[in-house]
Structure 1
C-alpha cells in the first residue's frame, strides 16, 4: 500500500455493523409500543421464509482482557449464572408475546460475550433448551458460539452440540506470550489445538478463529509465526480484525500506551504479510477483515453475493429480524434498532417491571434505508448499483461526489449506476462508506468516537 495513501485516509471511522451507526441514532428511542409494532410487522412478513436470528449476550468474564472493546462484567462468582439465565429467558418470553401466536423459526442463534463459556455446560444447555421450547428450527439453521480456549471444556462442546450448535468461534487473538501477557489473555497454543480437534471430532462443521493485528508489542516476525500456527490448525474461516484502540471508551486499554502499539506502517506491514501467508495457504480474502476456505459457507455467500453484515459482523445468514437478548444486546427489526441496558442491575430492574429492557434506539427513515443498502453492499461485495428512478437520494449523490478524490487515487471506480471498490481500495472500504454517511457529515464528531480506519 502506498504510504501517502495510508497517511491520507487513516482517519477515525465507523466499522459499519449498522447504518446509522449507534452514536448517530436519534436522541429519543422508539416507544415500547412502536418497537413492538416494528418487530411484529417484520416477523409477520419474514418468519415463514427467512426465519429469525437470535443473539444472546453473556457479559461475564473471570478476568479482563485489556484489549477488549465488548461490554463485560468481571467476576469469579458463578452464582451469577442462574439469575442471568432466568432474566434472558424472561426477556425472550416478553418478545414472544410481541411476536404473537405464530411459532418463531430460528434461523440463526449466536452466543457472544463476554465469555459464553463462563456458564457451566449444564446451564448453557438448559438455557438453550428452554429458549427453543415452542419454536421451530429452520432447516438451514446455524447455531454458533464464542469460545475462550482457557475455559472451554470438552463438556461445553458436547452440551452445546446436543442442543444444535455446529459452529464455534475460538478467540485466538495471538499466540505470542509477550502479547498475551500485556493484554491479560491466559491461554496456550495447545489449548487452541485441543479445542479445534475436539470440536471436529464431536461433529462441529465450522471452526472460526478470531485473530487481532495491531495489538501492543506485536511485531511482523512474531505475528507471522502466529499466522503460520493458525494455518497449521486449518480453521474453516478466520476473522482477522484490526485492533480498535479506544481507551476513552474502554479504560482497560490504558494498561498500555500508544507507544506500545505498532504505528500505522508497522500495523499495515503485519496485515499485508499475514494476508499473503493466508492467501498462499488457500484462504480467500472476503469482506473487510475475513478469510475463509473455499469449502466454507462464508466464501460461498461472498461468491454468490449473499454475504451479510450485522451487529455480529459478517454472516452467510441473512434475516430481516435479529433479536438481541441480554445486557447491551442490539436488536434489528429492519425498520429500526434498539439496544438493551448496559448494566446488569438496570437490565434486571426493567425485566422485573415486565418491560423490554432497551434504553436507546432508532427508527430508520427513507434516506437511512437507502444509504444502509448501499453501505451494506459496499461492506459485503465491494460494489453497489442503483437506478435513476429508485434507491437514491440527495444524500446518496452527495456521497458519490465525496468520492472524487478516492477515484483519482485509484481506490474506487464510478460508472453509470455502478460503484466498485478496487483491489487497492479494499483496505479503505470504511472510508468509502463514510462518504455516504449523511448523519456523520451532518454532525462531524468533535471528540473521539471511532477507531482508525486502517
Structure 2
C-alpha cells in the first residue's frame, strides 16, 4: 500500500465525531446534579488559596456582540448594530468581577487576560479602556502577564490597538479564515488582504510582540487552489502564530450554519487534502507545529513553552501560562478552579439582570471526581506534550486501564507507541490527538451519545 493510500485509510477510519478537549470532562458530560452556587464559591476560594496568591489567576472576558452573523461561527454571539449595548454590558462585567473579588477576599494578581467573542473590537476603544480599568482597579498585574484580544480585521482601528497596548496588551489574534472571496461571501465574513495587512503593520509599529491569524479548512466552497492562495498571502505577512483548524459543522447547535448545505462543504477526501496541503505549506513557510491545530515561528513564546514542557491548554486553547484558577466573565463564559467548572448563562438580558441583583450569573457546572482529575491530567499531557505516563498509583484508575485497552488499535496503526507505563504520540499520530484522547474519555464511553454532540475529528 502506498503512503498516500495508507494516509487515506487512516483518515477514513478515524474520521469520527470527537471533542476538541479544551477540558475534561467535556461539557456535554458535566454532571450538574451536585453543582450549586455555594459549592462553586467554595471551590473558587479553595483554588485561590491552594494556588498561592502570588501565582496569579487567568481572566477570560466574553464580549458577544457582532454587527453581522458569520455563518460558520460556533460561538455564543448577539447580532446587533446598536452600540448602545456596550456600556450596560461593561457595567455588568465589572459587577461580576467585583463579586468574585469579594469571594476571593483580597485583590488578586492577574497573570492572563483574554478578550474573546463575538467581536471584542465591536466595542469602542474608550469602552474597552473603561472595562480594563474597571478590572484592574480591584487587582494587580503579574510581572510577566500575558494580555491578548481577538479582533476583526475589518473594524480594528489604530485607536483600538494603541488603547489596548497602553493597557498592557501585547498579543493580538485576527480572524482571517480564508481570503477567497467566494468563501468569504458564503460564510458572511469579509475582510480584504489590505485590511489585514494594515492592522498587522499598525500593531507591529505600536509594539505588539505576538500576532496570530485564525485560518479554517473545510469551509463551504473552499478549494485547494483557494487555500493555497490564502496561505501564500498569510506567509507574506508572516504572523508569529497561526491557528489552522477544522471547520466544525454543527448546524443542530448553530442554525446560522444552515445558510449553506452539506453539499457546499468539501467531501471528506477533499477536506483531508485541504488539511494535509495546508499543514505542509505552513511547514514550508517556516512554521513549526505546536500541539493540535497550532503553528508558530521559531522563537515564539508558544513554541518555547512547548519545548520546555510549559504548554497548557484550557477553554481558550493553548496558552503559555498555567493558572490553577481561571475565571470567565460575561455571557456563556466558562471558569475553571482545577477541581470544578462553571458556565455562565447565555442570555444577555438575563446576565444584566442577575449581575444587577449582585448574584453570580451561573447556568451550570461540574464538580470533579478523583477519576476525572486523573483522566484530565493524561488528556492534557497528550494534547500539550504528545505523551503521558501512568506508572504511579496516583496516575491510574480502572477507567485508565479500560482506556489502555481502547488505545491498542491506535498503537497497531502506528499512531502511538504504547507500553505498560504510558504512551507517546508518533509523527503519524500528531493529526489524531482527538482520537487518542477519546480512547481515555471514560465519561464518553460510559454514555455513548445517541444524538450529534461533536464535530468531526478531521
- TM class, shorter-chain normalised? over 0.9
TM-score, normalising length from structure 1? 0.98
- 1:28 maps to 33
- 2:454 maps to 450
Report if aligned partners of 1:29, 1:359 keep a CA contact under 8 Å in 2: no
- Structure 2 residue 171 is matched with structure 1 residue 149: no
- Structure 2 residue 284 is matched with structure 1 residue 283: no
Query: CA 1:47/1:64 → structure 2, altered by over 3 Å: closer, same or farther?
Result: farther
Report if aligned partners of 1:47, 1:104 keep a CA contact under 8 Å in 2: no
- 2:343 maps to 339
Q: CA deviation at 1:353?
A: 2.4
- For structure 1, the residue ranges without an aligned partner over 5 or more in a row are none
**81, 90, 94: which one aligns with 1:89:** 94
Query: CA 1:127/1:388 → structure 2, altered by over 3 Å: closer, same or farther?
Result: closer
Query: Runs ≥4 in structure 1, deviation > 3 angstroms?
Result: none
Report if aligned partners of 1:29, 1:338 keep a CA contact under 8 Å in 2: no
**182, 206, 217: which one aligns with 1:202:** 206
Secondary structure of the corresponding residue to residue 268 of structure 1 = helix
Report if aligned partners of 2:57, 2:111 keep a CA contact under 8 Å in 1: yes
- 2:49 maps to 44
**258, 261, 269: which one aligns with 2:265:** 261
- 1:315 maps to 319
CA distance in 2: counterparts of 1:185 and 1:388, whole angstroms: 49
**437, 444, 449: which one aligns with 1:440:** 444
CA distance in 1: counterparts of 2:228 and 2:367, whole angstroms: 44
- Structure 2 residue 137 is matched with structure 1 residue 137: no
Report if aligned partners of 1:28, 1:360 keep a CA contact under 8 Å in 2: no
Deviation sequence 1:76-124 (CA, Å, 0-9, x none): 00000010000000000110010002x2110000000000010000000
- 2:354 maps to 350
- For structure 2, the residue ranges without an aligned partner over 5 or more in a row are none
Q: CA deviation at 1:29?
A: 5.6
**210, 215, 218: which one aligns with 1:214:** 218
CA distance in 1: counterparts of 2:231 and 2:164, whole angstroms: 28
CA distance in 1: counterparts of 2:143 and 2:68, whole angstroms: 38
**157, 162, 168: which one aligns with 2:166:** 162
TM-score, normalising length from structure 2? 0.97
User: Superposed, which structure 2 residues align to 1:405-444 within 5 Å?
Assistant: 405-444=409-448
Report if aligned partners of 2:35, 2:367 keep a CA contact under 8 Å in 1: yes
CA distance in 2: counterparts of 1:98 and 1:432, whole angstroms: 38
- 1:295 maps to 299
User: Superposed, which structure 2 residues align to 1:374-393 within 5 Å?
Assistant: 374-393=378-397
- Structure 2 residue 61 is matched with structure 1 residue 56: yes
- 1:71 maps to 76
Q: CA deviation at 1:428?
A: 1.1
- Structure 2 residue 274 is matched with structure 1 residue 270: yes
CA distance in 1: counterparts of 2:149 and 2:384, whole angstroms: 22
**392, 398, 418: which one aligns with 2:402:** 398
CA distance in 2: counterparts of 1:265 and 1:331, whole angstroms: 37
- 2:13 maps to 8
Aligned residues: 453
Report if aligned partners of 1:47, 1:105 keep a CA contact under 8 Å in 2: no
CA distance in 1: counterparts of 2:202 and 2:357, whole angstroms: 43
Secondary structure of the corresponding residue to residue 446 of structure 1 = coil
- 1:240 maps to 244
Deviation sequence 1:220-266 (CA, Å, 0-9, x none): 11101101111110100001011000000000000111111111111
